[in-house]
């Protein structure tokens, strides 16, 4: 991904980039792709009816991750309150989705992978949410 390059080239930042913000943006987009793929893999399972909640949580998490990644990528102006709320919502979605996928991890490798990716994104979002207003520009 070119997240660091793009944000550091922003004319208002003059090269000043928050590493935890970059990590969060990358984690959000990685999680969105992983959750989308996990939902699709769940749909292909013979026990798809047992995975309905997992699919729903995968798709909700993917949507919030895309939104959080996009909003966090915007560096012109300031909308820290909205950014904080979106990042916190993303963290919550990742936590819940990761927990659900962990329930299926022994039976489905895609759920095991998704649970791990959701946990990484959860932590990245929590780290950024704590720093909004102090170090994030």
pLDDT tens digits for 37-47?
999 999 999 99
Phi then psi for 79, rounded to 5 degrees?
A: -145, 55
Query: What span, in angstroms and rounded, lies between the C-alpha atoms of 107 and 47?
Result: 11
What's the rounded Cα separation, in Å, for the pair 48 and 10? Answer: 45
Domain residue spans of the chain: 18-131
Reported confidence tier of residue 18, pLDDT bands at 50, 70, 90: confident
Question: pLDDT tens digits, residue range 56-90?
Answer: 999 999 999 999 999 999 877 778 889 999 999 99
pLDDT of 7 > 70? The answer is yes
Class of domain 18-131: mainly alpha
Q: How confident is the model at residue 137 (pLDDT cuts 50, 70, 90)?
A: very low
Q: What's the CA gap between 14 and 81, in Å, rounded?
A: 23
Between 29-38, 80-89, 97-106, 108-117, the lowest mean confidence (pLDDT) is in: 80-89
Structure confidence at residue 132 as a pLDDT band (50, 70, 90)? confident
pLDDT in tens, 87-103: 999 999 999 999 999 99
The DSSP code sequence of the chain is: --HHHHHHT-TTTTT---HHHHHHHHHHHHHHHHHHHHHHHHHHSTTGGGGHHHHHHHHHHHHHHHHHHHHHH--SS--HHHHHHHHHHHHHHHHHHHHHHHHHTTT-HHHHHHHHHHHHHHHHHHHHHHHTTTT--
Output the pTM of the full model. Answer: 0.90
pLDDT, the chain, mean: 91
């Amino acid at each position: 991904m070119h997240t660091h390059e793009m944000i550091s080239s922003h004319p208002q930042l003059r090269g000043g980039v928050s590493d935890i913000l970059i990590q969060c943006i990358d984690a959000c987009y990685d999680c969105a792709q992983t959750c989308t793929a996990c939902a699709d893999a769940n749909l292909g399972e013979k026990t798809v009816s047992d995975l309905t909640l997992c699919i729903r949580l995968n798709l909700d998490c993917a949507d919030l991750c895309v939104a959080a990644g996009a909003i966090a990528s915007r560096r012109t102006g300031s909308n820290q309150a909205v950014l904080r709320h979106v990042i916190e919502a993303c963290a919550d979605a990742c936590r819940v989705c990761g927990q659900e996928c962990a329930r299926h991890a022994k039976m489905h490798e895609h759920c095991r992978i998704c649970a791990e990716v959701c946990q990484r994104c959860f932590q990245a979002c929590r780290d950024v949410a704590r720093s909004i207003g102090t170090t994030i520009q």
